[in-house]
Amino acid sequence: MKCGCGCACGTSSLSDEQKEILAAMEKCGGPCGTKEIATATGLDSKVLSAKIADLKKQGLADSPARCKHGITAEGVKALKGQAVVKQ
């Protein structure tokens, strides 16, 4: 998704699923496992893993420990609508 203005800037807004995932990560209060996020969002674990990988590529999520995921400062800003998400 583009920014909506018709330009080719490469920016996008977060999808509803991405917002749900980031919100679940934020609610964990620290690194959490895929199963915890899946339970909170209702998404299938395999689908969720792919979505988390995409969020990590965008710098909105990280993996501070093996098999654990967390939201970055940029992810928090994006979730609150304060940052432009680059693709």
Q: What's the rounded mean pLDDT across residues 9-36?
A: 86
Alpha carbon distance 75, 10 (integer Å):
18
Separation between Cα atoms, residue 1 and residue 39, nearest integer Å? 27
Which position has the higher pLDDT, 38 or 83?
A: 38
- Could you give the CA distance from residue 65 to residue 53 in angstroms, rounded to a whole number? 14
Tell me how far apart the alpha carbons of residues 42 and 24 are, in angstroms, rounded to a whole number. 11
The CA distance from 21 to 8, in Å, is 27
Domain boundaries, the chain: 11-86
Over 80: is that where the pLDDT of 6 sits? no
Band (85; pLDDT cuts 50, 70, 90): low
> Is the per-residue pLDDT at 5 higher than 70?
no
Residue recorded with tokens 């994006």: 78
What would the mean pLDDT of 33-50 be, rounded to a whole number?
94
Pick the CATH number of 11-86 from 1.10.10.10, 2.10.109.10, 3.40.50.2300, 3.30.460.80: 1.10.10.10
pTM of the model: 0.80
